[in-house]
A and B are shown apart, each in its own frame.
Chain A
Amino acid sequence: MSDMQGAARRPLSPHLQIYRPMLTMMMSIVHRITGVALYFGTFLLIVWLVAAASSDDAFATVNAVYGSWIGLIGLFGFSWALLHHMLGGLRHFIWDMGHGFGPQARELMAKLTIGGSVVLTVLLWIVIYAVKG
C-alpha cells in the first residue's frame, strides 16, 4: 500500500528519447522555445517603453545597454525568435485550414520555417544597417 507497487510497474508511454530526431519534431520544439524566449523578451521591450516615458536619463541608459554589442546580439536573437515563431505560427494556420499534413508538405514547411527565419533575420538587419548606417 505505502510503496504503490501497482502504479510503479505500469509501462510508460514512449517519450522523446525513443524517437529519431526529425526536422518537424525539432521545429515544434523550437517553436515552443522561441515562444518562451519571446515571453521574456517582451520584458525588454516594456522596459524600453517605460524608460522612454520616465526620463531622458533612464531612456539614455536603456538605449546605451541595448545599443552595446552584447545588447545588439540580444536584439538579433530576439528578432530571429520573433520571425521564427511568426513563420511557425503561419504554418499552424495552414494546418488549421486542414492543409499541409502530408510527408512532403510538412517537411517542406519545416524547411521553409527554419530557412525563412534565418534569411529574413539577416535581411532585416541588412535593412536596419542600410537605413540607419
Chain B
Amino acid sequence: MSGSSEFPGSSLRTPRRRVAGLGAAHSGTHHFWLQRVTALANVPLTLAFLAVLICVAGESPERVLATIGHPVVAIILILAIISITTHMRAGMQVVIEDYVHGEGAKVLSLVANTFFCAAMGCAGVFAILKISFGG
C-alpha cells in the first residue's frame, strides 16, 4: 500500500495510471459514489414515501389519487422513485458481478438489471405524472 511512495520503482502501476486514479476496474470511484449519494437521498425520500403510503392506506380511491397527485407529494414520490431505481441498479450490479461468473451470462444479467430498473423507474414516474395531471 505504501510501497509506491517509499519505493517509487516497486509499483507495477505506471505514473500515468496513478494520476488517472481509475484503479483496476477503470471506472474509479464513480460506482461507489453513485451508490452512496442515492443511499443518502433514499433515507428521507423513502421515509416520506412510507408516510404517504400510511396516510392513504385504506382511504377511498378518490382520496388516494388526490393525495398522490398533490404537486408536493408527487414531486417527492418522483424523486424517491428515481433515487431508489438508480440505487437498485447499482446494488444489483455488484451482486451480479459477485455471483455470475460466465462472461455471457454476466453481461446479459447486467443488461437485464439496467432494463428492469429503467422500466420500474419509468413506469412509476409515468403513473404519478398521470395521476397528478388528472388522467
> Nearest Cβ in chain B — how far from A100, in angstroms?
16
Q: Does B110 contact A (CB under 8 A)?
A: no
Name B22-47 residues within 8 Å CB distance of A: 36, 39-40, 42-43, 46
**Alpha-carbon distance between A67 and B57 when the two chains are bound, in angstroms:** 9
Quick check: B58 and A132 within 8 Å, CB to CB?
yes
Q: Does B64 contact A (CB under 8 A)?
A: yes
Q: Does B18 contact A (CB under 8 A)?
A: no
**Of A35, A45, A56, A124, which is within 8 A of B91 by CB?**
A35
Q: Does B92 contact A (CB under 8 A)?
A: yes
Quick check: B58 and A53 within 8 Å, CB to CB?
no
Fill in one digit per residue for A50-66: 1 if any B CB lies within 8 Å of its CB, else 0: 10110010011000000
Q: Does A22 contact B (CB under 8 A)?
A: no
> Nearest Cβ in chain B — how far from A105, in angstroms?
20
**Alpha-carbon distance between A36 and B58 when the two chains are bound, in angstroms:** 28
**Of A42, A90, A92, which is within 8 A of B84 by CB?**
A42
Q: Does A3 contact B (CB under 8 A)?
A: no
Quick check: A32 and B43 within 8 Å, CB to CB?
no
**A39's closest neighbor in chain B, by CB?**
B88
> Nearest Cβ in chain A — how far from B77, in angstroms?
8
**Alpha-carbon distance between A42 and B64 when the two chains are bound, in angstroms:** 19
Of the candidates A32, A46, A50, the one having the most CB atoms from chain B within 10 angstroms of its own CB is A46
Quick check: A53 and B61 within 8 Å, CB to CB?
no
Quick check: A93 and B40 within 8 Å, CB to CB?
yes
Quick check: B127 and A52 within 8 Å, CB to CB?
yes
Name B116-135 residues within 8 Å CB distance of A: 120, 123-124, 126-128, 130-131, 135
Q: Does A127 contact B (CB under 8 A)?
A: yes
Q: Does A94 contact B (CB under 8 A)?
A: no
Which residues on A sit within 8 Å (CB–CB) of B61? Answer: 52, 56, 59-60
Q: Which residues of B contact A (CB under 8 A)?
A: 36, 39-40, 42-43, 46, 50, 54, 57-58, 61, 64-65, 68, 81, 84-85, 88, 91-92, 95, 120, 123-124, 126-128, 130-131, 135
| A-B residue pairs, 5 tightest by C-beta | A53-B127, A49-B127, A53-B130, A50-B127, A46-B124
13 additional contacts, CB 8 Å, given A35-B95, A50-B124, A52-B68? A36-B91, A38-B88, A42-B84, A50-B126, A52-B61, A52-B64, A52-B127, A53-B128, A79-B50, A82-B46, A86-B42, A92-B39, A93-B40
